[in-house]
Structure formats: structure tokens, C-alpha cells
Chains A and B, each alone.
Chain A
Amino acid sequence: MKTVISLAREEFLGGLRNRWILIYSLSYLLLAIAISPFSLAGLNILGMKAVGKVLSALINISLYLVPLISLITSTVAIVGDRETRYLEWLMSNPVSERAYLLGKFIGLGLSIAVATLLGFGVAGWFVILFLPPEDVSKYFLLISVALLLSVVYIAMGLLISVMSRTRYHALGTGFLIWFFTVFIFDLLMMSFLLSILNDPLIATLVATLNPIQGIRLNMISVIDPEMTFLGFTGVGELRENVWLVLGTSQAVVIGYTILFAGLAYLQLRRQDVI
């Protein structure tokens, strides 16, 4: 366990120096600053409760940015160590494949969590200033859900990293997966399912196979437990089965994380270190 902590610490410190994580954190920060005061101030003047608007904007941002930064950093993590010959040397020490992978996973997760908290944090300051305490707690719950999305994409990225021979290959694969899960999957899946099933509940459950959709539903449920955001479907069948949908989506996200991390471990053990 001490080995895992030592490696995670180094990965975390290295992550904080990673320019992609800095860019990510700064983008978040700017977007969050831009969204929060304008939304809150403008809508409050009109007498509207602004939390939904602010948080839904942050949800949309995080659903693009969190998977992207998680994949960028994790896909190069192991293949990068291999290319710099660091892995060759490290793995001849009393470091098991499990400790190495766990150290990477925890260190990367923490560095992305800190960067996310920094970005969300500034927006959070506005939220705390303007909103009642119950909305503040929703805000922090939202951050936790965003971090869950990060975890599944880090596991996915590490699997890609273990299987790639160059960092360009790894980054390219990561970017394709990001593009597919963010933009393509829903178009394909929803049009296909709705054309043959005509059952919004089953269609929604299948859609949660995409972790981004699952996390989106969880985020929406945080700020709008009645699911009115989802329109007709939301107020109808989904509202009655909300726990089934949320439970399935969470199980899928956790399942993917275990699956990808497990496959990465097996592949790392099976193949030559260099």
C-alpha cells in the first residue's frame, strides 16, 4: 500500500504540472465565472430562481470537458512511461503491476479532481453567495457526480494506454472514443431504439450504456428530482422509475470502471513491460 501511495503522490504532483490539466482548470474557471454571475444576477432581477440555469450550463460543460481531460491525461500515462524508458526501470523494482496501475489511477484521479474543484470552486463561490443552503448542497453533489464521470474515463484511458505502442496512437484512440461517446453514440442509439422499441424507459436504460448519458441523468436528477427537464418522458414513465434508471446508470458506470481497470491490469501482466 505504501508503494501505491508513493506512486500516486508522484503521479498527482506530476499531474498538477501537466499543461493539459492547467488548461482544463483555467477553461473551467473562465466558463464558470462567465456563467455564474451573469445567470444569477440577471435571473434574480427578473425574480427567477437561477440555480437550474447555472447548474445545467455547468452540467453541459462538464459532460464535454471531464471525459476529454480524463482521456487526454490517462491515455498517455502508461505508454508515456514506456516511451521514456521509465517503466522499464520502475517495473524491475519491487513494484507490482497492480500497485503501478493503482498509483496511476489514484494520482490521475486526484489531480483531475483538484483541477475540477478549482474550476467549479469559483462558480461555487457565486452559488454560495446568491443561493439558499439547499441549492449549495446540490452544487457539491453535482461536483461529485462529475468526478464519477472522470473515474470511468480514466479507467478507459489507462486501458488504451496499456494497449498502445506510441503516445500518438493512444491519444488518437482516446480522442476517437471521446468523440464517439459524446457526439455519435446518442444519435445512433436513440434513433435506432426509438424506431424499433417505442418504449422510452427501455430506450433510456439502454442509453445509460453510454457513461455520459448515465451521468447526465444523475446530474439532472440532482438539480431536478422530478425530471421535468426531460419533458413528456420525464414527467411520465421515467418519473415513476427514476431509481431504476439512476441505479442502472450508476451500476453501469461503476461496472465499466471495474471492467476497464481489470482489463488494463490483465493486459499489463500479460504483455512484456517494454
Chain B
Amino acid sequence: MEAVLVENLVKKYGNFVAVNGISFRVEEGRIYGLIGPNGAGKSTTLRIIATLLKPTSGRVSVFGYDVVGEADKVRRIISYLPEEAGAYKHLTGYEYLELMAKIYAGDGYREYVERGVELAGLGGRIYSKIGEYSKGMLRRLLLARALMTLPKLAILDEPTSGMDVVYATEIRRMIKRINQEGVTILLSSHNMLEVEYLCDEIGIISNGRLIAEGSPQELKERYGGENLEEVFTNLVRSV
């Protein structure tokens, strides 16, 4: 089944066209990566899929639910990690996971919290105030929150943004593990190594258009690069 279906998606802000007729699909159980230069339209596309922005035209559905007309149903089955996210700074990490788990699960929230605590891997610091966390710790907490409910679709915008190598490696392992448990992943990243390691399929966006799509291996063969970085550079320069 299609986890995500995007058809002729357009998003305009006044005269500026942020997304210009993008179409792609993500099959259930896969990891799909959107890559592109800054301002290419990646985050806008992810935000539309996450029901946060309304498309100007085109159609987007998540597991068959329309993101505009059935936003409430979509929000029940997705998790979204924004590139920059705020959280209640006066709560501890544990209280924060608890608050969000209750929104999803009501009385049966404890299982989610336990998984969240494990995924965050913050040890005793999970009981510290979020306001005292480093950027990397906050990112881990937010990612744990996004994945603890085992959503049908996890939308991750730059999941390892601002993290050091050790944290970033752990996060990638976490994403792989959660995917193996059946969660479909849609992510964006600037890090080509990360994308090549994680993704089954990749869509390259430039100037609001999808200019190439395929598995990392297919893209390397089709566009003649030794690695995804070369493919990406060649493609973006040629547009």
C-alpha cells in the first residue's frame, strides 16, 4: 500500500512558488529521503504532508487519508519531527514524553513512555528540565517522542541536524531499527552519506521541482557518480 501519495503538489506564498508540481509516492515500510539545496522545497513538502501547511493545488494523501480534508485522521497515524522544534522548557524530559504519550494513548500511555525513555537514551538526565538540555539532547528527546508511538509514518526533517558524529550515528541506528519494526519513514537531509545509508529510495528536489528519483544505486548508475554526493552535485548544477 502507498504510505504517501503526492500528486502535482503546488505551494505558493504570494508570487513565490515554493513547491512547483511535485509528484512522488512512498511505499509502506520503506525509507524515502528528500534531498535538495536550501530553499528547494523539502521542508515545505514535508510540512504539507504533516498537515501543517495547506497546498495551493494538487493532492496529498497519507495511507489513503487526504491531508486537508482528513487532517485529524492523518495526525493520528503520523509523527513529525521539524528541523527546529520547541518544547515546554519547564517540563522534565520524562514529563514531556508522558504528556505527549497521554495525547496519543490516554490511559495506556505507559508503554509509549517506556519506549520513549529507551529511545532517547538520556539516562538520568531524562528527569532534568528540558531548558537545561543541550541541542543534541533536545533533538534526541524530540526524535524519541516522534518514534515512541510507533506511528505508521514518521516524517523527519533533518533528523540529525546539529548533532555530533556519535549522536548522529545513534540516531541513524534508531531510525533503521524503528523502520524494521514496520514504521514507514520519510525524511529530508543535507547529509548524503546519511541518505545513502538510510534510504531505500530518494527524491532530489531543486527549485520546487522533483528532478530525479530512484534508489541510491539506480541514481548512481543513471547519473554516473561514484557516490550520491556526486550525483546530487551534477544534477543540481545541471538544472
Contact = CB atoms under 8 A, between A and B. Distances in A.
B106 A2 contact: yes
A92 B52 contact: yes
A84 interface: yes
B142 interface: yes
Which of B51, B52, B78 has the most chain A CB atoms inside 10 A of its CB? Answer: B52
Interface stretch (A10-18, A55-63, A182-190, A211-219): A10-18
A273 B82 contact: no
A93 to B, nearest CB: 6
B80 A3 contact: no
A272 B54 contact: yes
Contact of B76 (A2, A81, A94): A94
Contact of A14 (B51, B53, B90, B142): B90
Interface stretch (B1-9, B97-105, B114-122): B97-105
Interface in B39-67: 47, 50-54
State which size class the interface on B falls in: 20 to 34
A274 B84 CA distance: 12
B87 interface: yes
B88 A10 contact: yes
B75 A93 contact: yes
Nearest to A82: B86
A93 B103 contact: yes
A262 B62 CA distance: 29
Interface string B153-173: 001000000000000000000
A86 B87 contact: yes
B184 interface: no
Nearest to A99: B103
Interface string A1-41: 01100100010011001000000000000000000000000
B104 A94 contact: yes
B79 interface: yes
A46 B16 CA distance: 75
B82 to A, nearest CB: 5
Interface of A: 2-3, 6, 10, 13-14, 17, 81, 84-86, 88-89, 91-96, 271-274
19 contacts: A2-B102, A2-B103, A2-B106, A6-B102, A14-B88, A14-B90, A86-B85, A86-B86, A86-B88, A88-B82, A88-B85, A89-B85, A91-B75, A93-B75, A93-B79, A94-B72, A272-B54, A274-B47, A274-B53
